[in-house]
Chain A
C-alpha cells in the first residue's frame, strides 16, 4: 500500500513558505497566533512536500486555521472535520492530513466524529485548541468549562461537569495522545512534530488562551511562579518531576493512584518512571487534570501502534485485485444468470 506522505526534503522550506496571503482575523492577543506560528515553524522539519499537506477544520475560532496555512485547506462544518478528513484519507492515503478543532467543535457538536476517527485510528493529526469557552459565538460555556463557571449562557454558574479531553481520547482508543501549551512555542513544535510523525490518529490538546472571553484560564501553566508547582513535564523513560529546583516534587504510584511526594523524602527508584507505551499509565496521568491537588501534565501521554483504518481497507483491496484481477464492468454485468432474446 502507498503510505508515502512524501519525499524527505527538510531543507526545501522555511516557515514563510507556509504563511498564506490571507489576513489573519483572530482577536489581537489570541493564543491562536502563537499556535499558528509554531505550526508554520514545524512544517519545514516534517519533510513533506507542501502540496501534500492538507489542513481540515470545522467551525469556531480555531477552525479558521486552514485559511492561514499556505497548504491545501478546507474549512468545513461544525464538528465534522474528522469525518471529512477520514473520507479524504480513504481517497488519498498519500496526503498528510491535519484536523484543527476546538473544545466546542471537537468535543460538543463533533464529539461523535472525534470518537470514531480516534477509534478507527485514521492517519490524521488532530490539534484541539482548548480554551474552555465558545469564542466565535461570544462567550458561552463549553464542554471543557469547569463546573459552576459563570458565562453568558450560565449567569448562575454552569451545571455541566466538564469533559477531560485526554481521558476522552484515551477512552475511545486513541493511539497517540499529548498535551501542549500555546505559551510554550518550543514545546508545541516538539509535540506537533511528534504527532505528525505518528502512524495513525494522533490527538494533541493545546491549552490555548482566549483573552476576550476566558482570559488566563490556563494561568496555572502560564504564570512563571504558578507554573513551577502546576506544570508537569511528561517525558518517556524519565521520572515524573515538578516543583522548585531546590525542593523537587515527584509522583509515585500507590496501587493505581498517583501521589505527590517530596523527592528528598523518598528512596531512589520509588518515583514513577513514565512509559508512554503504557495505556494504564496514560489514563492515570490524564486524570490528574481533573484534580486540583495535582499538577497539569504536558507532553506525550500515550504513543502506541495499531492498525490504521485506511491501510487495512487498501490492503483488502490490493488482495482482492491480486486474487481476482482488476474489476471489469462488462464482465460484472454479464455475470450470473443471463439469457438472450434474438
Chain B
C-alpha cells in the first residue's frame, strides 16, 4: 500500500451521530498526547466542531504501568457547536490496566471500551493494583461494549519485516489505536500520514513503521468481525472562514507577536521555566524572525525584573508564570505599578497552593492577581474564555498596558493552555490599533505628567536627549516625579493609580448576555469555564427555564454594565474552579446575593454538574 492513498470506504454500516466523546488513555510513554492531537487534526479535517482536554502526570517518565503514570487525551466532537471536551465518555481506549482502572468510571454505560489485551499481564495488573484480571470480569462486558484487541501483537506483526528493534516497533502501537478509532468514527487518516512523514523525516524506517501501524489499525476495524458498525458525524455548521486548530498556549504567544507587529514595538519575553507556562517560552523562542527576544531568567523574580527593565527601555515587556511564580513576582509588579511601566504578566493558573497539582487546572489566583501585592497596587486583569480567545486577550493586554502605562495580568489556566479548538483565523489588520507615541519634546516634560483621558504618564525611551530623568520605587511627587514623603501627595498618588486602572473600563465593550435580558437566574462565569457554562445554560433554556449567562473577560476593572445586568435576575450563580473568588467580588462590589458553585478537583467543570446546580437553585424558595 502506498503512502497517502485514501483508505477505501468501509463496507460496514455507518450510524450517524450528533456528537461523541473519546478518550485515549495509556502509560505516559505510550504517546497518548500525540495520538489525541492527531485525532484532533483528523477531526478538524472532517469539519466537526471540537474541544480537547489533555491530561498528563507531572512526572516526566513516571514508572511504566503505574496508576500515577497514566496520561490521557480527551476530545468531544460534533455536528453542532461543541463547548467542552465532554463530561462522560462514549469511547475509552485503555492501553494498559492502569489506564483502565483510572479512567473506567468516566465511561458511559454501554460505551465503547477498547483494550490492548497484550498489556494485561501479571506485572501490569500488579502495578495497577488489580487482584484479578479485569478482562475476565463478566461484569465489564455486561456494562460496556468491550473490544479486546491485541494491539501490541498486531502492531508487531504489521511491522515484522522492518529492521527496527522490538522496542521501537512496540512504540508504534499508539498509531494502531489511532487508526482503529479513526475507522470507528470515520476520520480521514491523511493528515496523520502527512504529519508522520514530517515528524520522522530523518528516519525513513519510522515513517514506514508508523504509517503501517496506523493503516493496520484502520483496516483492522474495517475487517475484524468484532466491530459491527462505525459512526459518522456530519460536518458542523460553523461560521465561515479559514480555520486552524489552536491551543491556548500558542494563541497567547501569537497574540503577543501580533501586538508587537501592529505596535511596531520590540518585545522582550522573560520567563523562568514553570509548568504549564513554559510552553509559551518554547513557542516564542522559535520566532526570532519576529524580533521577539526571549530571555530564560535565573528565577521568577529576575523574569519580571527583566521585563520591567525592557519596558523602561521602551519595549513591550512580557512574562508568564503559574500561581507560585506569580507570588514571587508580586514585588516586581509593585515596582511596575509605582514606576507606571507597561508590562504584561500571564498567569497560567494551576491547582495549588504551593506546588499543588502542577499539570492540573484551577481558577484560584483571581484574588492573588487582584490583591497579592503590598499596599494599594491596582493592576488591570484580563481572562481569556477559550483557547482561541487567548490570542485576542494577549493582544488586548499589550494594547491596554501601553495605552494606560499600567501592568496587566492575564489569568489563563492549565485547561485553556493545553486545550485546543478550531479557530477562525483573524486578519491581523482587523485588530484594534495599538498606537504608541514616545515622548520626545522637552517643553513641559515631567515624568509624571498625565494624559487627561487615560491618566497615563509619558513613556520616554532612554536615549532621548533632554528628557533624562530618574524614577524608582519611592513615592513620586505628582507631576514632577521627584521623591516625595508628603502625606497628601501619597494619598493623591494612591488615588491616581487606582483611577487610572478604573478608567480602563471605558475600553470594555457592552457585556453580551446569552439568553433573556431578565429572568430567574443569571449564571456568571470567567475564564475557561465558558464552554461548560454555555452548554449547561443552553440545556436549561431548552427546558424553558428563564436562565441567562454572561462571561467576564475583564476582571479588573469589571465591565461597567455588569452591576445593572446582575439586578435583572432573581438569582445569580457563579460557577468557579476555586472556593468562591469572583462570587466574593461580585457580592462586595454590587451588593447582590450571588451564590457560588465551586469545585476544586484540578479538573474543568462538567456541564452536568453546572446544570444540576442551575436546577437546584431554581428549585430553591427565596
Contact = CB atoms under 8 A, between A and B. Distances in A.
Interface string B470-496: 111110000000110000000000000
A230 B391 CA distance: 64
Contact of A56 (B299, B303, B309, B469): B309
Interface string B173-191: 0000000000000000001
B306 interface: yes
A73 interface: yes
B242 A338 contact: yes
B243 A91 contact: no
Nearest to B341: A74
B261 interface: yes
Contacts of A116: 297-298, 302
A132 B243 CA distance: 63
B310 interface: yes
B574 to A, nearest CB: 34
Given A52-B463, A113-B302, A333-B244, A76 B472 contact: yes
Interface string B307-324: 111101111010000000
Contacts of B305: 76-77, 80, 83-84, 86-87, 113
B167 interface: no
Interface in B41-68: 41, 44-45, 47
A131 B505 CA distance: 49
Interface stretch (A195-203, A252-260, A269-277, A322-330): A322-330
Contact of A86 (B309, B332, B474): B309
Contacts of B463: 51-52, 92, 94-95
B470 A91 contact: no
A91 B468 contact: no
Interface bracket on B: 35 or more
Nearest to B424: A341
B242 A95 contact: no
A183 B468 CA distance: 29
B427 interface: yes
Interface string A287-328: 000000000000000000000000001101100110011111
B112 interface: no
A11 interface: no
Contacts of A339: 44-45, 47, 242-244
Contacts of B293: 90-91, 313-314, 317
A69 to B, nearest CB: 7
B474 A75 contact: yes
Given A83-B302, A88-B309, A329-B254, A71 B314 contact: no
Nearest to B472: A75
B129 interface: no
B469 A72 contact: yes
Interface string A261-283: 00000000000000000000000
Contact of A51 (B308, B331, B466): B466
B467 interface: yes
A75 B47 CA distance: 56
Contacts of B244: 333-334, 336-339
A73 B289 CA distance: 31
Contacts of A76: 305, 308, 335, 472-473
Nearest to A328: B261
A326 B289 contact: yes
A342 interface: yes
A308 B585 CA distance: 48
Interface of chain B, helix or strand or loop or mixed? mixed
B29 to A, nearest CB: 26
Interface string B564-583: 00000000000000000000
A153 interface: no
Contact of B288 (A69, A86, A321, A342): A321
B291 A327 contact: yes
A316 B334 CA distance: 33
Nearest to A333: B425
A57 to B, nearest CB: 8
A337 B243 CA distance: 9
Given A317-B288, A326-B289, A341-B240, A90 B258 contact: no
A66 interface: yes
Given A67-B483, A113-B302, A327-B289, A51 B472 contact: no
Contact of A74 (B47, B257, B298, B470): B470
A73 B471 contact: yes
A49 interface: yes
B357 to A, nearest CB: 27
B44 A86 contact: no
A154 interface: no
A227 B310 CA distance: 44
A54 B295 contact: no
Contact of A91 (B314, B474, B482): B314
Nearest to B428: A329
Contacts of B216: none
Contacts of A91: 266, 268, 293, 309-310, 313-315, 317
Given A83-B297, A86-B302, A73 B335 contact: no
A140 to B, nearest CB: 20
Interface string A149-179: 0000000000000000000000000000000
A51 B462 contact: yes
A6 to B, nearest CB: 9
Contacts of A73: 468-472
Contacts of B312: 54, 74, 84, 88
Nearest to B429: A330
Nearest to B245: A337
A123 to B, nearest CB: 13
Interface string A54-70: 11110100000011011
Given A49-B465, A83-B305, A341-B238, A332 B288 contact: no
Contacts of B461: 92
B371 interface: no
17 contacts: A20-B470, A50-B465, A67-B470, A74-B471, A84-B309, A87-B295, A87-B307, A90-B268, A90-B309, A91-B313, A91-B314, A95-B462, A112-B298, A316-B288, A321-B289, A330-B427, A339-B244
Which 4 pairs show the lowest CB-CB distances between chains A and B?
A75-B472, A87-B309, A87-B306, A83-B305
Given A76-B308, A333-B428, A341-B239, 11 more contacts: A57-B472, A83-B303, A84-B305, A87-B270, A87-B308, A90-B309, A91-B309, A92-B314, A321-B289, A321-B291, A326-B289
